Amino acid sequence: MRCCLVFTSILILTNCQQMSSERTSDNQNKLANSTSPYLLQHADNPVNWYPWGEEALARAKEENKPILLSIGYSSCHWCHVMAHESFENDTIAQLMNKHFINIKLDREERPDIDNIYMDAIQVMGLRGGWPLNVFLTADQKPFYGGTYFPPEQWKRLLESVSDAYTNKFDQLSQSAEQFAQNLNQSEAQKYGLLYAEEELKDVDFDKTIESLASRFDDQWGGFERAPKFPMPAVWNYLLTYTDLNENDSVQNHLWFTLDKMAHGGIYDQIGGGFSRYSVDGQWHVPHFEKMLYDNGQLLSLYADAYKITKNNLYLEVITGIVDWLFNEMTDTSGGFYSALDADSEGEEGKFYVWTFDEFREIAGQDFSLLAEYYDVTKQGNWEDGKNVLRLLDSKEAFAEDMELPLAEINKIVNSFKSKALEVRNKRPRPGLDSKILAGWNGLMLTGLCKVYQATGDEKIKKLAQNNAQFLKNELTINGKLLRVKGESINAYLEDYAAVIQAYILYYETFFDEAYLTEAKRLTELSISDYFDKEEKLFFYTSSESEELIARKKELFDNVIPASNSMMAENLYKLGLMYDNDSFKQISLQMVLMVNKLIKQEPEYLANWAKVSLQMHRSTAEILCVGNDFQIQMEELYKTYFGNSILMANAGNSELSLFEYKTPVNQQTTFFVCYNKVCERPVHEIDQVIQKVHETN
């Protein structure tokens, strides 16, 4: 935008006066009482940080100072780098304290604020990311910013911004006002969304697949790019699509991608769990932070893939993620922590990588075989003699090359992993972000339910039950969700969408109607507090939330599906389960609002595309009635259904779909229905599967 270029010129051309480097006599850092691990990391900085709140905002107005809003999260590597280089530097801190009101923000606690100012940076034509450092007027309007700055560049920028704020405020204020106006554009205006009652057509979905396939990486899986993010929403869409439409090439690429991710260094070959992304195009070297939201979604993805393929690799991945979750991420309350840091001992990845000598000492007599298996070299397969363990081929192919039985390879590998894990656990550990977030816990609960369906593992059932109870009892206060355990922050649409989704699947797994009832209640609350009847989409924040300079809607599916697309899916499924036409109508309107965008950019509307496809093809309503319904359904849902709802009870449910449905001949009976029209009732699971697949 022109206004951004004008202000950038001001920053570059201003001949700034040298500011005093005298240290203030007192440190007024206000972060010591925070509960956020990220804010506490900055509580000892010489910078006079404030948390976001009325005190800081009021002081900016009283002193007529610009606000420096610095946003990050606890496991962010470059956030740590900038903190060590600049925020722990007395001279730089003095500049910040003298000329700015400095606010530190945990983006995971306050994604509403992060979303606004990340949008602002991108409107300015600047690159987004974290740490996100944004300069605001005293009334919270952004006028400049960026991500990571080296210390000398950061000092020059602070001086230039301060001088411009003092001497060229009119121009700066005009620029900020234009950015604020842009941020307040509605999503319908910004993307040209128009509600149109057009039909959803098979040809549209075929085109989305063609568009995605044109970007496939045939050598390493995923898409042709670096860095590589897992993007579960895309692969979930392809799972659904290939279940409903025969397409061997797309399905083969899907399995190829899951194989390559599981073989790569992005997956922790020793301790389980996925890192956030790989910095290269081969899934090899990860950005070592591990996020709960990634692993919850990948748990779902691999569990569904295992249902279809019965591939032992996928079962190993599922088991590894659950072990990591249980060993490192589970609170005694039943909640799950947010993230593990990328760094330990001030170095990225140090906890996870191996030198040649370290590896050889653990591997012992099997060293040569294991070094080839994990691609370990003396010079290091990464940098400076460091090895990130990865597999260059499948375990089966490796066994064949080595002319050894697969059982022998498994024995050697498992023995090594056990010993390596024991050694690694003695190292200084990466930092743990112990925040417990409603939405991320919802994503993990969905994953656990999927895994229990696929495996029937009682340990996973217990984890899921404890987490569901935690969400219902400890993160639901006065009938409404909280964002963070222990904080009075209203939940965002992301939290409602993910928890509702988890409760629906929890019902479809354990058939406890209390959770389905709670999903419906939270959905009704979401409509009341978040829904925009004009644009037929949901705001990210509640009508009762703090008023910010903009109220945004989340449209695009990214590393987490958009909260709006998740709500569209929730409304559709609950509409079927409760025979609620209002829910179904809202869901359809939402999909039709973004239909144009789905066709244009399916990669970033993949979850929308999945919901749209499910609506178009009609969803199988699979109902089971009988005393042993739980046993029968546990056998049934080991089969993957890309477009179904599962409902079951002993014959005592008040849900309307069960009306007039009773066991036939006193045997547990299945009913397969589409649009409230039911096929002839059957008693055998194979008959149910056949009916569904024939109709698809």
Reported as a single tens digit per residue, the pLDDT across 672-689 is 999 889 999 999 999 999
Residue 362's closest CA among 430, 407, 303, 425?
425
Average pLDDT, the chain: 93
Strand partners of residue 370: none
Q: Band of the pLDDT at 30, cuts 50, 70, 90?
A: very high
Mean pLDDT throughout 502-520?
98
Span 2-22, average pLDDT: 39
Q: Please give the share of the chain, as a percent, with pLDDT higher than 70.
A: 95
Q: What is the pLDDT of residue 695?
A: 81
pLDDT, residue 514, reads 97
Given a contact cutoff of 8 angstroms between Cβ atoms, the answer to whether 137 and 66 are in contact is yes
- C-alpha distances out from residue 603 to 276, 369, 562, 606, Å: 18, 40, 12, 5
pLDDT tens digits, one per residue of 321-377: 999 999 999 999 999 999 999 999 989 999 999 999 999 999 999 999 999 999 999
pLDDT at 193: 86
Scanning 425-530, the segments in alpha helix (DSSP H) are 438-455, 458-474, 493-510, 513-530
Residue 596 pLDDT greater than 50, yes or no:
yes
- Nearest CA to 673 out of 653, 695, 656, 652 is that of 695
CB 106 within 8 A of CB 36: yes
Q: Matching CATH topology for 2-184 and 620-695? A: yes
Mean pLDDT of 571-577: 98
The pLDDT tens digits for 629-663 are: 999 999 999 999 999 999 999 988 989 999 989 99
Answer whether the bond into residue 131 is a cis peptide, omega within 30°.
Answer: yes
The DSSP annotation for 193-207 comes to -----PPP-HHHHHH
Domain boundaries, the chain: 2-184, 202-350+433-617, 356-426, 620-695
CA–CA distances in Å: residue 278 to residues 281, 322, 538: 7, 21, 33
Give the model confidence (pLDDT) of 381-407 as tens digits: 998 899 999 999 999 999 999 999 999
Q: Cα(598)–Cα(396) distance, rounded to whole angstroms?
A: 39
Band of the pLDDT at 22, cuts 50, 70, 90?
Answer: very low
User: Does residue 214 surpass a pLDDT of 80?
Assistant: yes
Residue 285: exposed, middle, or buried by beta-carbon count in 10 A (0-12, 13-18, 19+)?
A: buried
pLDDT at residue 261 above 60? yes
State residue 187's pLDDT score.
86
Q: What is the CA radius of gyration of the chain?
A: 27
pLDDT for residue 197: 64
Give the torsion through C-alpha atoms of 73, 116, 103, 31, to 10 deg.
-40
The CATH number of domain 620-695, selected from 3.40.30, 3.30.70, 1.20.950, 2.60.40: 3.40.30
529-to-264, 325, 537 alpha-carbon distances in Å: 43, 33, 12
Q: Which CATH class is domain 2-184?
A: alpha beta
Q: To which H or E segment does residue 535 belong?
A: none
> Cα(94)–Cα(23) distance, rounded to whole angstroms?
6
Asked whether residue 432 carries a pLDDT value surpassing 70, the answer given is: yes
The SS3 assignment for 313 reads helix
Alpha helices in 74-218 (DSSP H): 77-82, 90-99, 111-123, 151-167, 169-183, 187-191, 202-213
Q: Is residue 66 scored above 60 in pLDDT?
A: yes
pLDDT tens-place string over residues 73-107: 998 889 999 999 999 999 999 999 999 999 999 99
Nearest to 33 by CA among 139, 112, 104, 120: 104
- Write out pLDDT tens, residues 12-21: 334 333 333 3
Which residues are within 8 A (CB) of 552 and not within 5 positions of it... i.e. 6 or more apart? 112, 115, 116, 119, 183, 187, 539, 540, 541
477 pLDDT higher than 80: yes
Q: Looking at residue 21, what is its pLDDT?
A: 35
* The predicted structure's pLDDT at residue 27: 67
- Has domain 202-350+433-617 been given CATH number 1.50.10.10? yes
Residue 125, pLDDT score: 86
pLDDT of residue 696: 74
Provide the pLDDT confidence category of residue 568 given band limits of 50, 70 and 90: very high
More confident residue, 469 or 125: 469
pLDDT for the residue numbered 26: 54
